[in-house]
Amino acid sequence: MRVVARGLAQNLAAGLKLALFLPVRRLAFRIGVGQILALAVVSALADVVADAMRYGDGASFSWYGLGSEVYSGGVLLLSAAVLALALRERSLVLAVPTIALASFPVLQLANGLPWQNLGVPPDFVGPVEDAVLLWILVVLARVAWVALEYRGSRRFAGALAGGALLAAPIFLSGAILPLHPWFAPPLLETADPRYPSPASEPVLTEQLRILDDALAELEDGRPGVTDLYFVGFAGDAAVPGFRSDVEAARRVMDARWDTGGRSIVLLNDPRTLLTDPIATLSNLRDTLDEFAAAMDPDEDIAMVYLAARDSAAGELDVRLPPLELMPISPSRLRGAFDDAGIRYRVVVVSACRAGGFVDELADDDTAVVVASRDGGRRGDCGPDGDATAFGAAFFGDGMQKAAGLAEAFDVARASFVRSSPSARPERRIGPGIAARLADLRRGNGSQRQARRSGTRTG
């Protein structure tokens, strides 16, 4: 045991030098199966600490993180074996995992730091996280460089190839398996005692009035004008960020896309129980029915923005304890549109495993935009990492500045992928909805020109 402990200490010291770009040789590492196992335990503990820093004091511990460690370790061993076969150097099978795991702890801790909470201005958080990612990629190349110390003339090429192979799982893991952190925001099981219970009769009675009033205030579509109707859906009371994200999206849509009088938000938040309709499948159905009654089916467009945590089944969880609410599945959302008789549809989903919404809803008259098709690297996507970052990028940057939906997606994708490199944003825009969106863009341009000249259109 003492021999293992001494070897572990030596490896961690050498790995720190490697990560900090200090001189270090392969001989400084004690390479072997026992050391790989010991370093894997240290790496898992570093991930526990990093996830605890990233998700805050309110997060709850989850053993699902162990599965992510096993997966990551297996991928590292497989990458080392592939590199050993490609370069015909058997020693790399043990050398690469040992050296890599020895250098990881400081990188894992840096990757988990909540930079904004440490005083980094919001505009600089993305560049700082990009710098940490670049640091990780360079260190992985250096891992291969040190492991190939005795390679000779082909050492540089081998280090580049080895670094690329070791880095590939960072960007591709989300396409293979959804990874879970050691900590996640707590799932509320009871009502917040600071606010009225959502299940109390006074709240339920008031909610009926709130929804009726909100729907009654929706304006009818204007003949000859392509009008856009917007509903934002913040589905999880345990994540306040969803509410602020949806409310910010509504403000952008009202100001930039002329949805004022034709927009509504459905919010699951204890603080809004007596002011805004709650986010449920039934309320979403009622909203779409009211949209359909107010709009011209051959001219107008209904846009739904969903911000919620996803489940492994590809549904969006809807939580407002102690109420038991139906999740939003792709088929249920399509059924709500179909039952309402709405032809032209835009669906934006801020969730990590939203590929089912693309597959189920995309058609000639529908546009679907999702934050990620099938998950991402641990911490990259989700309210923890943060899925609302896609909403902010899509509405705050894209829809705020771009001339159309496709352009807004391109703007949002570029921004989101920089901070969440393994996320896979996706869009599908059918030709029918594309023509309607072009009319909407031209109509908004005419309305803005009319406002500048002091006249009104429609």
Token look-up 């000639």 returns 364
Paired tokens of 261: 């009088």
Alpha helices in 88-216 (DSSP H): 92-112, 122-147, 155-176, 201-216
Q: Tell me which of 190 and 7 has the higher pLDDT.
A: 7
Mean of pLDDT values over 346-369: 92
Our separate counts of H helices and E strands in the chain read 15, 8
Q: Cβ contacts of residue 162 below 8 Å, gap of 6+?
A: 83, 87, 96, 140, 141, 143, 144, 145, 147, 148
Q: Tell me which of 233 and 314 has the higher pLDDT.
A: 233
Q: Which pLDDT score is estimated for 422? A: 62
> Which stretch of DSSP H or E encloses residue 368?
strand 366-370
pLDDT digits (tens, 9 = 90+) for 247-296: 999 999 999 899 999 999 999 999 899 999 999 999 999 999 999 999 99
Q: Which pLDDT score is estimated for 117? A: 67
Closest CA to 96 of 201, 427, 104: 104
Look at residue 167 and tell me whether its pLDDT is greater than 90: no
Percent of the chain at pLDDT > 90 equals 48
Q: Cβ contacts of residue 376 below 8 Å, gap of 6+?
A: 173, 174, 178, 179, 352, 385, 420, 422, 423, 424
Q: Which pLDDT score is estimated for 404? A: 83
pLDDT digits (tens, 9 = 90+) for 388-410: 678 888 888 888 888 888 888 88
Q: State the pLDDT confidence band at 447, using cuts at 50, 70 and 90.
A: very low
Q: Tell me which of 191 and 247 has the higher pLDDT.
A: 247
Write down the mean pLDDT value for the chain.
85
Q: Which pLDDT score is estimated for 449? A: 40
Lowest-confidence region among 119-128, 297-306, 410-419, 421-430: 119-128
For the chain, give every domain's residue range.
2-184, 201-453
The 10 Å CB-count burial string (b at 16+, else e) for 233-248 is bbbbbbbbbbbbbbbb
Mean of pLDDT values over 356-379: 82
The 10 Å CB-count burial string (b at 16+, else e) for 254-277 is eebbbbeebbbbbbbbbebbeebb
CA 250 to chain centre: 19
319 forms beta bridges with 236
CA distances from 53 to 44, 49, 123 (A): 14, 6, 20
Q: Which pLDDT score is estimated for 88? A: 87
CA distances from 220 to 192, 302, 341, 442 (A): 38, 13, 16, 20
Residue 407 CA to residue 421 CA, distance in Å, equals 20
Look at residue 378 and tell me whether its pLDDT is greater than 70: no
Mean of pLDDT values over 71-75: 88
**Residue range 201-453, CATH number:** 3.40.50.1460
Lowest-confidence region among 29-38, 150-159, 339-348: 150-159
Q: Which pLDDT score is estimated for 442? A: 52
Is the CB of residue 24 less than 8 Å from the CB of residue 53? no
Q: Which pLDDT score is estimated for 284? A: 97
Mean of pLDDT values over 87-116: 90
The count of residues in the chain is: 458
Mean of pLDDT values over 302-320: 89
